[in-house]
Amino acid sequence: MHQRQLVIKAPRQGLFEITASIAEVVQQSLISRGLCHLFVQHTSASLLIQENADPSARADLESFFERLANSHSHLFTHTDEGPDDMPSHIKSALTQTSLTIPVLEGHLGLGTWQGIYLWEHRIQLPPRRLCVSGFG
């Protein structure tokens, strides 16, 4: 079991591609055939595998989730940490805290159009801790 802690600070609220950072950990692990597991140690940021080609797909995803998480936001009671806090928990609950990706012939077994994203849901952009585990 090869484990690494990464600290990532997204440049803005929204989807931030981290495929290259994860691919580097996989390469360093020297695992040829196995699995790579990612875990984000936060409840207001999450992980997602999505289209890595057309930025308009990500923009539409971000605005869809923003609208959805804020529908009936006037009913929220957990508001002490700002108006982006409760929508952050909702977006995290609707997406992933952990992802597991195959490692095939020493590389991440992603499809042609798949990228790995850290989804930063907060406006203030705190540094985010990720735990990457590889095994084979």
35 near a second copy, judged by CB under 8 A: yes
Interface residue with a second copy, options 9, 24, 30, 43 (CB under 8 A): 43
111 near a second copy, judged by CB under 8 A: yes
- With respect to a second copy, which residue has the nearer C-beta, 24 or 60? 60
Q: Is beta strand 14-17 parallel, antiparallel or unpaired with respect to 34-40?
A: unpaired
List, as one string, the DSSP characters of 28-65. HHT-SSEEEEEEE--SSEEEEEEE-S-HHHHHHHHHHH
Q: Tell me the residue type at 79.
A: T
Q: Tell me the residue type at 122.
A: R
Interface residue with a second copy, options 9, 93, 124, 126 (CB under 8 A): 93
84 near a second copy, judged by CB under 8 A: no
Contacts of 73 (CB under 8 A, 6+ apart): 83, 86, 87
Q: Is beta strand 2-8 parallel, antiparallel or unpaired with respect to 128-135?
A: antiparallel
Which residues of this protein are in contact with a second copy, per CB under 8 A?
Answer: 1, 3, 33-35, 37, 39-43, 48-51, 54, 56-57, 59-61, 63-65, 67-69, 71-72, 75-78, 80, 85-86, 89-90, 92-102, 104, 109-114, 129, 131, 133, 135-136
